[in-house]
Structure 1
Amino acid sequence: MKLLSALLWSSLLATMAPSAWAQANTIPSQPHLLVKGEGARTVMPDRFAVELLVKSTDLQPDTARSRVQGNVDAVLSAFKRNHALPESVVADNLTIQPDYRYSVQGKQEYLGTRVSRRLKGSFGTTGDLQAFLRAVDASDDLQISSMRPGYSREAALRGELKAEAATQTRASAKHLATAYGARIAGLYSISDVAPNFAYGVQAGSWPRGGDMVTPPNPPAPAQTSIETTGARARESIEAGPITYTENVYAIFLISDGT
């Protein structure tokens, strides 16, 4: 019976319309319980993304374009040689615009036409990423703008965590209702956005064990940094674990258990 209930609940989550997950800033007039569920998982990254900016400014637009294209070709070749995941390699369209600078006197001076293009790709190991960085000659015209780790199953994992959090809200509501001699009469709303009703409780400030309600703190950033050491990030690259968290907030209608 428990397995059947779990399957039914999972089916409900899978088929629920997107609007059902949106925050509803209304509360029912009848007795109800507002509960929060949380699912969290820490994983090791298996994707390592890098983004580059290739640019050049010249009074002759075609000269600037040729320089940019030469650097783009070099980067794309380095992606291929160092086993970048083919589906992850993306080269944006050329951006062309006038380039200016301000003189000491505060006057705007025309420098020429600025041509730029962004490229990005991902690797399956830090070793491949490091080899790619060694192969790229970074300069003012070819800049590494960002590096970040990721997880190939992130979308599926977030779905699993959301389902776990939703199941947790149901269990919490049942325990609370039983403790007060009530029973669950039905689900009124469910959302992955924290409610901001007249309860005085917002995201990040849900009290525990009689704690006083305090204003919410900003959410802690996910631990998704790639630590680099050495000149131009070429000497060592280490990636730490990533923690994914999903919260679900549900309102259950209750009735007298007698």
Structure 2
Amino acid sequence: MKILPILTLALSGLMSVNVSANAPSFPHLVTTGYGEVTATPDMAEFTVKVVESTMTAEQAKLLVDNVVSGFIGKLTDQGVSPDSINSSNLYLTPQYHYPKKGKPELVGYRASRTMTVKVEDLANLNQYLDIALSEGINQVDTIRLKVRDEVKYQQQARLEAIKDANSKARSLATGFEQELGGVWRIDYNMPSSQPVLMRSVSMDAKAESNSYQDSTLVIRDRVDVIYKLKD
């Protein structure tokens, strides 16, 4: 029986294995394995911002700094470690009015600061967000649900991806009446980001708090493999 020179499985349409540039000269088979595991989040991280616009730069800075100080103070009273709070520097920009004729007119200043808070116990997330609202924070940029032992879950997802790649390779080789040889090449790129819950909401009015206790994270991984086919 004539040996197939190349047998390629492309599930997503694009593969990180550069077959055309680095294809081996011997008969081979290429697969992509996907793996995922689910995890219940037990911690979180959220980023909030306070923005104020006033006539003077000094007043805008004072308003923003007061909100940041009050928020950090309340979090500290609740037992949040200073190491879990990251506050950015003040960002101050002039605001102009641009008439149809004439030069731009300075109408005030806009000041803003961003804070990121690490929540060690997910049960406290809503409480900390309520504190942000009460202290004058007017924007929530992101809420990231996380698991404490991310490495463990990522390793589990990676093993599932390896199993998937091997299973596909065996199935394809059998289907085409070929005998699968050893692994010739493995391409793996660690996922650049973890599953997150992203939100951007206005906090001008108090809204009913959402519960995150029943949320589930899906952690994914993938691996690209080139197998030899026996002659």
TM > 0.5 fold call = yes
Query: Which of 25, 28, 31 is the matching residue for 1:29?
Result: 25
The answer to whether 1:187 aligns with 2:161 is no
CA distance in 1, matches of 2:31, 2:180: 15
Q: Which residue number corresponds to residue 115 of structure 1? A: 111
1:238 matches 2:207: no
Per-residue displacement from partner, 1:63-90 (whole Å, max 9, x unpaired)?
2211111111111112223344654321
1:250 paired with 2:225, answer yes
Alpha-carbon distance in 1 for matches of 2:50, 2:80: 18
Q: Distance in 1 between matches of 2:138 and 2:89?
A: 16
Instruction: Report the Cα offset of residue 44 of structure 1.
Output: 0.8
| Uncovered stretches (5+) of structure 1, i.e. residues with no partner | 1-20, 194-221
- Does residue 88 (structure 1) correspond to residue 84 (structure 2)? The answer is yes
Change (3 A) 1:127 1:173: closer
> How big is the shift at 1:225?
6.2
Kept in 2: contact 1:23–1:191 (CA 8 A)? no
Q: TM-score, normalised by structure 1?
A: 0.65
2:137, 2:171 → 1: CA distance?
62
Q: Report the TM-score, using the length of structure 2 for normalisation.
A: 0.71
For 1:147 and 1:184, the matched residues in 2 are separated by 47
* Residues 108/253 of structure 1: CA separation in 2 closer, same or farther (3 Å cut): farther
Query: Contact 2:165–2:225 (CA<8 Å) still a contact in 1?
Result: yes
Cα deviation digits, residues 117-167 of structure 1 (max 9, x gap): 100102233431222233234588632333232222224422332243124
Residue ranges of structure 2 left out of the alignment (5+ in a row): 1-14
RMSD: 3.5
Q: Map of 1:20-169 to 2, 5 A cutoff? A: 23-26=17-20, 27-84=23-80, 86-101=82-97, 109-137=105-133, 142-169=138-165
- Checking the alignment, whether the CA contact within 8 Å between 1:102 and 1:108 is kept in structure 2 is yes
Aligned counterparts of 2:59 and 2:185: Cα–Cα separation in 1:
64
Deviation >6 Å, runs of 4+: none
Closer, same or farther: CA 178–223 of 1 in aligned 2, 3 Å: same
Identity among equivalent positions (%) equals: 21
Residue by residue over 1:32-69, the C-alpha shift from the partner in whole angstroms, topping out at 9 and shown as x without a partner, is 11122222111111112221112223333222211111
Structure 1 residues 83 and 104: CA distance shift in structure 2, 3 A: farther
Q: Which residue of 2 aligns with 1:214?
A: none
SS at match of 1:129: helix
* Number of residue pairs aligned between Structure 1 and Structure 2: 206
Distance 1:233 1:153, change over 3 A: farther
Q: What is the rounded CA distance, in whole Å, between the counterparts of 1:39 and 1:49 in structure 2?
A: 25
| 2:155 counterpart letter in structure 1 | G
